[in-house]
Amino acid sequence: MNPYKSIWINPRVTFEELASREKQPFLILPIIGNGLIFGLDAYPDIASIFDEGGRIWAFFFALPLGIGLSFLMLGLIIPGLIKFCGKIWKGESTLRKMSNICSLSFFPLNIVLIYQISIFIFGVEPKLENINYGIIYLLWL
């Protein structure tokens, strides 16, 4: 089963199969996608610090920063907190299983990446930020 395809069609079965696997690879693609979303979202704020010629440096600073923070949050902090709370109820999950499940649960949010890349390519400033955040929130749910 390919989790990147089945997460869209049947998420429950995908999560159950991931939880039942004893050895599993670390699913890195959703974390990188969420890092790109965070980096492109933070780019205008970081670019405002630089002058007009330094905007390319802001881009090369924002994307690795977003990916790094995404690895920190989805790879360590959120799964670690869930694992810690699960140990209270005698849970038996490993940190890798929790990291995979957390990263895949944020994978449908990567639809926002298409929207953000199109805004970035065409240089359009989003006028209705509240609507943009509403769309992101609905996809996150």
| Contact status, residue 112 vs residue 37, Cβ threshold 8 Å | yes
The fraction of the chain above a pLDDT of 90, given in percent, is: 1
Tokens of 5: 């395809």
Q: Dihedral sign for Cα 48, 110, 105, 98, please.
A: negative
- pTM to 2 decimal places: 0.71
Separation CA 40–CA 128 (nearest Å): 17
pLDDT digits (tens, 9 = 90+) for 1-38: 777 788 778 888 888 887 777 777 777 888 888 888 88
